[in-house]
Amino acid sequence: MIRLQTDTPQFFSDLGDVLRLFYGDVAVSMSDGDVLFEHHFTDADGQWTDRWTSQGRESALTQPAWPGTPLEVKRLRKRQVKSALYQLLRELTGMHPPWGSLTGIRPTRLIYEAMEAGMSPEEAEKHVVDVFDVTPEKARLLTDIARMQQGIREAAPGMFDLYIGIPFCKTRCAYCSFSAGEIGDGKLVAPYVEALLREIELCRKMMDEAGMKLRAGYVGGGTPTAIPCADLERILAAAQAAFPGAVEWTVEAGRPDTIDAEKLRMLKARGVGRISVNPQSFSDETLRRIGRAHTAEETVEAFRLARALGFDDINMDVIAALPGETVSDFAHTLDVIEQLAPDSVTVHSLAIKRSSRLHEQLVTAGNGYGQIEASQRASEMIALARTRLTAGGWRPYYLYRQKYMAGNLENVGYAKPGKACLYNIGNMEETVSVLALGAGAITKWLFADRTLRIERAPNVRNIEEYIARVDEMAGRKRALGIRQ
Ligand code: SF4
């Protein structure tokens, strides 16, 4: 445990995140710990100084005090105190995290901010390298993504995106962080579908009154195709009748063992253009190890079936740094991806969340999932994916980061020209309002009053709770005062 004493306790949790860039998933406390990090702040003669000491080393950062609004002052204070701590940690450990001092989940925002301030893409890249110590490769990734997002990052006024969550899976993956009550085994499907239909109807009225129109719809999970075909069809039919006119519909058909010709034909008939068939890995041994309960061959068959039935926009998700996987296992997964040639590929870095079975097996029990070794492996795999996919004609088009990711890396969506998913971009960049229905779904609404403001309305995560309280969930959205 690390003890962190700071003159700016309002940033305690952000400072903990900086420590975790270097020490992994470590506990941080204000009062206890084996190693002490001490911080003093002074504001004198128009200068802000943050001084950090630990283990006999000291690091200080001084900058002119910023005479802005309270919100700007808070933002810049936070940035400076984090940078000063980051500087000390770099000296102490000799490590250079790929995303430098950035701990947020949307680094592309910094590139956009810099470009809005008048910088060219090249200057914006240099800015994130200089100010945040991001590596040049990652800075280049950000500008590549900004180029791909040109013209499709925002929606026209009055448009929103829709998310529908189907929280059921046949078996639970080892890295899944949902609790049993949040990811059902199918017994509650029928009442869940009824609750969802009710939420769709309540929200239809709300969107009609606000004069809002649907741009892109996304059905995720869980595994939407884990429920019976007729149930999934009822949900899609109700959503499309309530919110007509979408230019894009995606359904995650994540587990290949839930995909069959009947479901694919139904999706096609309902105008679902984009599906996701997720191998995660093309190694049977890895799939067994992570509890996926399907083989690599089944993924290939599901993909070919979808192609044969006319799907021309198929995404595949893969995960780097799965336990026990070597770089050559991952290279094999990329070989198969190249042969199948899906239209988009999302490359995730494994995130071992505390609530997952994998955390229990590998981290808590100390089963040799060495942080540094895993970080290096993850970093090599992610770099390999970038090189191979780019050479194969896929381009990075969206990116996000999560806590507890192997090697402090990132998740990146790559797409062939014209196959970038609008929903993914709008959701990750927070440039489009998202109406989110179903257990655990979080509605995010953008209000452009004087400044851009995002309001959230979360649905309860527990499936039974959601079914019992669905009217209240719709009420939470109504309370946002949704309008154009
Ligand atoms: S498919 Fe996703 S939601 Fe379902 S068990 Fe695996 S990780 Fe969890």
Phi–psi pair at 293, nearest 5 degrees: 55, 30
Domains of the chain: 1-95 (3.30.160), 159-437 (3.80.30.20)
Ligand 1 atom with least separation from CA of 177: 8
Whole-number Å distance between alpha carbons of 412 and 377:
17
Ligand 1 center to 332 CA (angstroms): 23
Could you tell me if the CB of 254 is within 6 A of ligand 1? yes
Q: Which atom of ligand 1 is nearest to the CA of 175?
A: 7
Cβ of 282 below 6 Å from ligand 1? no
Decide if 413 contacts 395 (C-beta within 8 A): no
Spans of the chain below 70 pLDDT: 352-373, 404-406, 450-451
Q: Which atom of ligand 1 is nearest to the CA of 183?
A: 3
Confirm or reject: Cβ of 226 under 6 Å from ligand 1.
Answer: no
Q: From ligand 1's centre to the CA of 176, what distance in Å?
A: 5
Q: Give whole-number Cα distances, 399 to 83, 107, 143, 165, 348, in Å.
A: 23, 8, 11, 21, 10
Q: Which helix (H) or strand (E) holds 110?
A: helix 108-116
Identity of the residue numbered 390: T
Q: Pick the atom of ligand 1 nearest to 278's CA.
A: 1
State which amino acid sits at residue 308: A
- What distance in Å separates the CA atoms of residue 43 and residue 65, rounded to the nearest whole number? 8
Q: Which of 354, 439, 358 is nearest to 403 (CA)?
A: 354
User: CB–CB of 383/204 below 8 Å?
Assistant: no
Q: Is 408 in the pocket of ligand 1 (CB under 6 A)?
A: no
DSSP string, 140-192: HHHHHHHHHTTTTSS--TTEEEEEEEE-B-SS--TT----TTTSB-STTHHHH
Take atom 7 of ligand 1 and give the residue whose Cα is closest: 176
Give yes or no for a contact between 223 and 166, defined as CB atoms under 8 angstroms apart.
Answer: yes
Report the sign of the C-alpha dihedral through residues 322, 327, 333, 334, in that order.
positive
The helix/strand/coil state of 109 is helix
Ligand 1 mutation pick, 166, 170, 183, 281, max ligand atoms within 8 A of CB: 183
- Is the preceding peptide bond at 56 cis, omega within 30 degrees of 0? no
Instruction: Answer yes or no: is the C-beta of 319 below 6 A from any ligand 1 atom.
Output: no
Contacts of 279 (CB under 8 A, 6+ apart): 256, 296, 299, 316, 317, 318, 333, 336, 337
Residue with CA nearest ligand 1 atom 2: 222
Q: Ligand 1 pocket: which of 166, 168, 171, 173 to mutate (most atoms <8 Å of CB)?
A: 173
Testing ligand 1's pocket by substitution, the residue of 170, 223, 252 carrying the most ligand atoms inside 8 A of its CB is 223
Hey, whose CA ends up nearest to atom 8 of ligand 1? 176
Cα 303 to ligand 1 centroid, rounded to whole Å: 19
- Among 171, 172, 185, 280, which is best to mutate for testing ligand 1, by the most ligand atoms less than 8 A from CB? 172
Among protein residues, the one with the nearest Cα to ligand 1's atom 4 is 222
Q: Which strand ranges, in their side-by-side order, compose the sheet holding 57-64?
A: 28-29, 2-5, 35-44, 47-54, 57-64
**What is the spatial distance between Cα 364 and Cα 353, in angstroms, rounded to a whole number?**
11
Residue nearest to atom 6 of ligand 1 (CA): 173
pTM for this entry: 0.91
- Both tokens of residue 354? 């505390």
Check residue 180 and give its pLDDT. Answer: 76
Q: How far, in Å, CA of 427 to CA of 163, rounded?
A: 10
Tell me how far the alpha carbon of residue 254 lies from the centroid of ligand 1, in angstroms.
9
Cα→Cα distances 38→5, 55, 95, 166, Å: 5, 10, 20, 46
**What is the β-pairing status of strands 395-400 and 35-44?**
unpaired
Tokens of 385: 């994916």
Query: Residue 316 Cα, ligand 1 centroid: separation in angstroms?
Result: 15
- Please indicate whether residue 184, judged by its CB atom, sits closer than 6 Å to ligand 1: no
Cβ neighbour number for residue 150 with a 10 Å cutoff = 7
Asked if 283 contacts 242 with a C-beta cutoff of 8 angstroms, the reply is no
Instruction: State residue 369's pLDDT score.
Output: 45
Confirm if 169 and 178 have CB atoms less than 8 A apart: no
For ligand 1, atom 3, name the residue with the nearest CA: 222
Asked if 378 and 407 count as a contact pair (C-beta separation under 8 A), the reply is yes
DSSP per-residue codes, 336-372: HHHHH--SEEEEEEPB--TTSHHIIIIIITT-S--HH
